[in-house]
Amino acid sequence: MAETADGGSGPERPGSRLRRLLHRLLAGWRGDPGIWRRGIVLAVLALLLALVMLLHSRIPNRVGNLGSLTETFLPWLGFAIPVLLLLGLLRKSATALVAVLLPAIVWLNLFGGLLSDKSGSGGDLMVATHNVNADNPDPAVTARDVASSGADVLALEEIPGTAVAVYERALAPTYKYHAVVGTVGLWSRYPMTDTQAVDIKLGWKRAMRATVTTPEGPVAVYVAHMPSVRVKVEAGFTARQRDKSADALGEAIAAEPLKRVVLLGDLNGTMNDRSLNAVTSQMRSTQGAAGSGFGFSWPASFPMARIDQIMVRGVEPESSWTLPRTGSDHLPVAARVKLDTSS
């Protein structure tokens, strides 16, 4: 209880309580000559953490693709900062506390922009993509769930041949036009032409391209499902086939004659992963440009990475978000984009 103006007592304000605790903490440190000598190990760990985040692009991929593995989960390194801060307080080390400022600044510089809500209310086309999972126990329900999002253009990946007809029947009431190429498919409210497979050097079809004729004009829409990556004890982060396919997809998009391009799909990699540079260097992520938060999409039970992407070129992102969980191990992701960028 805190004393009131008339000499009585009342509830203590949270701010007063915090100031009192800080006062006690600092009072316990005053006159302690060891506050700068203690916590050297914590300070070194903080500096190493800052260096890993700051120089992540310099971590080599020669050994188990360690660089790509680090970049895939790079935002999660930020959780080490409050741990180091707490340990520094418990150790009563001014050196450690000062050192923790460096990784905090680096993390905010890398990811601070994702903490704010950049979504707008505009846009004249809604797109969505979903890896539906080949082992999905109820593909019809999944199809209806993603169709109910209101997307004008919907891409699906990892469609098993035995379930193609199920998805086609479930989506037919919402989408007049569609095409399935291998294990990927595209559904649209607007006419689709020039549908063709995109060779991503796999030996089987997991990518496609189509021209979608919207009221604002034609848009080249790519759908891709990059090969999976694995983390193995003996081999590390194995992603060679994924990287080769990403390079091939990047070449196809670079050669695209249409000005407006949208890429939808499961790239099995994040925007930070240097191995996707052939694609990410020429396109914008809708989540980074117009989303709120990190937009993690995998695994659906506890999303840890944004590997399902909506990327654009010649198109202005307006908003980006994840959709509710379905029977898949991925979350669907959606975005609204502005096609008419003349105004």
Quick one: 285 and 142 in the same domain? yes
| 261 and 253 Cβ atoms separated by less than 8 Å | yes
- The answer to whether residue 2 is domain-embedded is no
CATH at residue 290: 3.60.10.10
| 184 and 196 Cβ atoms separated by less than 8 Å | no
The segment with the largest mean pLDDT, out of 65-69, 87-91, 194-198, is 194-198
pLDDT at 42: 96
* Residue 169, pLDDT above cutoff 90: yes
Q: For the chain, percent helix, then strand, then coil, each to nearest 5?
A: 35, 25, 35
Average pLDDT score, the chain: 90
| 323 and 294 Cβ atoms separated by less than 8 Å | no
Q: Which residue is listed with tokens 């052939």?
A: 278
Single out the residue in 55, 89, 115 at which a domain terminates: 115
What is the value of pTM for the model shown?
0.85
* Residue 163, pLDDT above cutoff 80: yes
Single out the residue in 115, 147, 164 at which a domain terminates: 115
> Is residue 236 very low, low, confident or very high in pLDDT (cuts 50, 70, 90)?
very low
* Residue 19, pLDDT above cutoff 80: no
- The answer to whether residue 6 is domain-embedded is no
- The answer to whether residue 4 is domain-embedded is no
- The answer to whether residue 137 is domain-embedded is yes
All residues at 6 or more sequence positions from 303 whose CB lies less than 8 Å from its CB, including other chains? 296, 297, 322, 331
| Parent domain of 321 | 125-338
Q: Which is nearest to 147 in space by CA: 181, 173, 178?
A: 173
Quick one: 167 and 265 in the same domain? yes
pLDDT at 56: 94
